Amino acid sequence: MNEKMSGKRVLVTGSGTGIGREIALEFARQGADAVVHYSHNDAGARSAVDEIRRLGRRAEAFKADFNDVAQVQALGRQAIQFLGGVDCLVNNSGITFNQPFLKVTQEQFDTVYHVNIRAQFFLTQVIVEDMLKRGRGAICNLTSIHGVSGAPEHSVYAGTKGAIIAYTRSLAVELAHKGIRVNALAPGWVTVENYFKAIPGFNEADASRVAAEKIPLGRSGEKSEIAKLAVFLCSDDAGFIVGQTLVADGGTTALMSLISDFRNPSSAKFGTGNVPGV
């Protein structure tokens, strides 16, 4: 194993399932001790802890409701106490939400913003205070391509993801000279458990077909790919990367939406009479 994170201590939020779980496991594979956080999936978090311990790393799981700032702050203190300090923080926890704009309620709005951005903000405060004692640390905030491109019925969710990108930049320049690097990671389509719960009739075969048609790379992303990028951003290999949002989406946001078929030559002839050879 490549143990570039040997001796590091990481807290990964929302790591009982999906991308977060894989991130915690990848940190452990590369040498780090880890605190796993969950809000509902106790079984997934416990199995992640067991797997990390089998790798010879220290690990524990703690529960926190991210709609409650007091629980969020307690999670930070628990992680610091268990690990003896936190070198890397991966803010992965969040909830996805879609609703037509005119039907969004105040309670829905508050819940999504509280979980996706407020909790992340105040947890990071606790962890940064600890990092400052040693004068070093790395933070990776998980956002989404929804923060950089638009989709119908995602005005609330996209707003939180855009907020993460903006506050990542500002926090990064505030902390860089103190030895703490802050960056963000924006995944595109990565098939996780939530797809099967949220989309009626969703299956891997249909997902592969749609991804092959819609994503320039011809496939959706893998959890392991996002996990390795999160580790990279927190590693010394990324030591000169500060305040950036790394997009990993197979070319989704790079593709102009007006282009209907990007695989075949265009029949249009823009520039005729003005550009030689056209």
Residues marked as catalytic: 157
Counting other chains too, the contacts that 109-118 makes at CB distance below 8 Å and 24 or more residues apart are: 109/156, 111/67, 112/156, 112/157, 112/160, 113/156, 113/159, 113/160, 113/163, 114/66, 114/67, 115/66, 115/67, 116/157, 116/160, 116/161, 116/163, 116/164, 117/160, 117/163, 117/164, 117/167, 118/69
Q: Which two tokens stand for residue 15?
A: 């790591």
Instruction: Determine the Cα–Cα distance for residues 241 and 173; give it in Å rounded to an integer.
Output: 11
